[in-house]
Amino acid sequence: MNNPYGTHPEALGDLLDAIGPQERGLVRQLSREEDDALAAVSLRRFPTDRATTGAIDWSGAVVLEQSFEQDYADAARVLGERVLRYSTSDVVVFWGNLVIPTVRLPARLAAANAGELIDTGDDVWIYLPDRNVLVEYWHSGRITAGMIPDAVAGP
pLDDT digits (tens, 9 = 90+) for 27-40: 999 999 999 999 99
Q: Domain coordinates of the chain in residue numbers? A: 9-147
At 36-94, the pLDDT tens digits run 999 999 999 999 988 887 899 999 999 999 999 999 999 999 999 999 999 999 999 99
Question: Global pTM?
Answer: 0.95
Contact 62, 146 (CB under 8 A): yes
How far is residue 72 CA from its own chain's centroid?
17
Distance CA 99, CA 101 (A): 6
Contact 147, 64 (CB under 8 A): yes
